[in-house]
Amino acid sequence: MARILVADDHDLVRETLAAYLEAEGIADVRVCSDVAEAEALIAGTGAFDLVLLDYNMPGMEGLKGMTRIMAANAGRPVALISGSISTEVAEDALEAGAAGFVPKTLSSRSLVAAVRCMIGGDIFAPVSLIKKPELGEEGLLTPREMDVLRGVCTGQSNKEIARVLDLQEVTVKLHVKTMSRKLGAKNRTHAAMIARDRKLI
């Protein structure tokens, strides 16, 4: 059973999160309402498998509080609870090593998924905040190939894709072929699955 620390000065948010997580039986949840308390808890009971921090909370001082908590938590993931968070803060937070963001608006199911994700070491953030992962491999895809890939991923035929993009079917075929090559796929179905796996749809 994972140990999770929820630090938020809003009673409602804190208790709701804790209740969700405990109800699912995936975690032993501790709560607190400011940064100092959080540090004390970590120091007193050892590192948590995941720490969820409210960005607007006594003692946070922007990301400084988060980095302090991260240092205290010995490398285990620390994420922000984001009511609404600016994209700059989000980028900086990810830069600083945050494990992700838990929107307060998240459904319980998604919350559990997100928490599992982060405990496992993955980064969880709203897609809009994630910057392109390594362009090294996927960057190979040209814009047009991406358009076609999106069509392929929804199960459209070349003809349908051509209609949507206002192209000739042959052109779509060309893009499907080159795009599949670049992804190392055997065919369109394979390409679609690879795209889904790498989340580049």
Partner DNA sequence: GCCAGACCTATCCTTAGGGATAGGGCGTTT
Partner DNA sequence: AAACGCCCTATCCCTAAGGATAGGTCTGGC
Instruction: Tell me if 138 contacts DNA by CB under 7 A.
Output: no
Closest-CA residue to 105 (of 96, 114, 117) = 114
Instruction: Tell me if 129 contacts DNA by CB under 7 A.
Output: no
Q: Kindly identify the residues of this chain, within the stretch 113-132, that bind its own copies according to CB under 8 A.
A: 113, 116-117, 122-128, 130
State the nearest-atom distance from the C-beta of 15 to its own copies, in Å. 11
- Going residue by residue from 139 to 158, which x/- string records binding to DNA, judged by CB under 7 A? ---xxxx-----------xx
Q: Which is nearer to DNA, 32 or 152 (CB)?
A: 152
Instruction: Tell me if 196 contacts its own copies by CB under 8 A.
Output: yes
Q: Kindly identify the residues of this chain, within the stretch 161-200, that bind DNA according to CB under 7 A.
A: 165, 167-168, 170-171, 173-177, 180, 187-189
Write the CA distances from 132 to 16, 102, 118, 126, 201, integer angstroms. 32, 20, 19, 13, 12
DSSP code of residue 82: E
Instruction: Tell me if 142 contacts its own copies by CB under 8 A.
Output: no
State the nearest-atom distance from the C-beta of 32 to its own copies, in Å. 20
- DSSP alpha helix (H) spans, the chain: 11-23, 35-45, 64-72, 87-95, 108-119, 135-138, 143-153, 158-165, 169-183, 188-198
Binding site for DNA (CB under 7 A): 142-145, 157-159, 165, 167-168, 170-171, 173-177, 180, 187-189
